[in-house]
Structure formats: C-alpha cells, structure tokens
Amino acid sequence: MTTDERTGATSGSWKVIRETVILLVVAVGLAVIVKTFFVQAFYIPSGSMEPGLKVNDRILVEKPSYWRGGPQRGDIIVFEDPGDWLDENEDAGPSGVFAKTLAKIGLYPSGGHLVKRVIGVGGDTVVCCDKEGRITVNGTPLAEDSFIDPQQDCDGPMAGCSGWSATVPKGKLFVMGDNRDESADSSFHLCTADDGPDCDKNDAYVSTDLVVGKVVALVWPLGHARIIHRPAVFDDIAEPAKKD
C-alpha cells in the first residue's frame, strides 16, 4: 500500500469516528431535551398504586399537559418528595453506574419520586367518608371501585374510617394511592389530635411545583402495556364554593 493509500484509509477511518461521535452527541442531546421538556420514563417502586400499577412496572410521564395548567382531579402524577414521604426502597432509584447514567439522559427509568392519584386540587374539600364509605370531594361522592384496591369498610383506611376532612390550599394537591391500605399519601400525613401542636399541616399536601408530569402509559411488562386514562368519575365533581 502506498503512502497516499494509507493516508486515505486513515482519513476515512477518522471520518467514520468523527461522524459516529457527532451522532452520539446529537442523540444524547435529543434524549436530554425530550426528558427535560416532553417525556420521561419511571418505574413503580412500591405497591401503593395497585391494582393498576404494580412494583417494577415501567411508565411514561408526559409534561406538556401541565405547561399552562396544573394537574386535574383523577390524574396519576409523578412528583418529587414533598418531605420525608419516601421510604428507603422508594428512594433507591436505578443501581449501577451505567443505569444511573442512562437515567440522567432519559434512556432508563428514574427512581426517587412518588406516584399517586390526584384527589383534590386547590380549594377542594376532601372528606372521608359518606354513609357508603366513599370519599367525597366538594360534596360529590367518588365511585372508585373500578380502579382502587377493594376495601372492606371505606375508601380511605390508611387514615382510618373514623372521619377526616381536608381543605386543599391554593397551589397544592391532595393525592392518594389506589391501594389505600398500603399508601402513605396525603390522608396518611394529615394532622390529627394525637399528633399534637408540632404537626405541620402542610405535610399532607403536594405543591404543584413538585409535579414532574402526568402518567400516560404503562409500557413494561409488555403483557400489561396500555394507555392510562383519567377515570370518568372525576368529571362530575362540583367546583368548590367561592368564598366572599
């Protein structure tokens, strides 16, 4: 092989390497942009959203829906920990350097977040429970049997069935897991008479600023993959009464 031929071969090899590097940089950049502004993958860390979402299910969360408005009642949302809600298992996230790197650029499901259903938004009054054991929002009872784990006595047992109510502050959300027996959610963090004066009443609510996005699809395992819709029962909730 002549010098010119060797030089040409070397030049061609460097061109391939250069183009490959450029493509990788572009791909990573696009992945980061998609994760930051549009869609992000997460996994379910606990059984608090059963039966619909099970441990280690992979979900997709979209973000554009909340660019101009906050979450709606009935949405399943992913949000950052509002303060000591996460236990050790839920806070774990992906393990291993490779998985953590992929998670940062949006190519692997992230951990360290919570997944719950929005029951009440700012101004709403959430009460447990009516005579049939149903949670009410602004006086409207929720028929939740089609999507929550079956309950024996009432639909809010994590905080007990003895009766509780919460008026959601502006800019906050009242969220609950669909597996009411196993969900340390807003109802669980409500202040009670037993908690004493040091209990922070804001601990029960999630700021809308902490919301990452809305769960729109279960993508893994493939046998259970589906689009996730907001239950129609939330369409009939009355708006909160306006205060004078």
| Angle formed at CA 36 by CA 17 and CA 89, multiple of 5 degrees | 105
Q: Is 116 a catalytic residue?
A: yes
Is 48 in the active site?
yes
If one counts every other C-beta atom within 10 angstroms of the C-beta of residue 215, the result is 23
- Rounded to whole angstroms, the Cα distance separating 61 from 55 reads 16
Evaluate whether 85 touches 237 at the Cβ level (below 8 Å). no
Q: How far apart (Å, rounded) are the C-alpha atoms in residues 51 and 158? A: 16
Residue 130 contacts residue 154 (beta carbons within 8 Å): no
Catalytic residue among 46, 48, 183, 186: 48
- The residue from 116, 183, 187, 214 that is catalytic is 116
Q: Which pairs count as long-range contacts for 24-31, CB under 8 Å and 24+ apart, including other chains?
A: 28/105, 31/105, 31/106, 31/107
Among residues 78, 35, 70, 83, the alpha carbon closest in space to that of 53 is found at 78
d(CA 141, CA 144): 9
- Identify which of 7, 95, 37 has the alpha carbon closest to the alpha carbon of residue 213: 37
**Cα 64–67–69 angle (5° rounding)?**
120
Kind of pairing between the strands at 114-121 and 226-227: unpaired
Residue 224 token pair: 């259970």
Please list the active-site residues.
48, 116
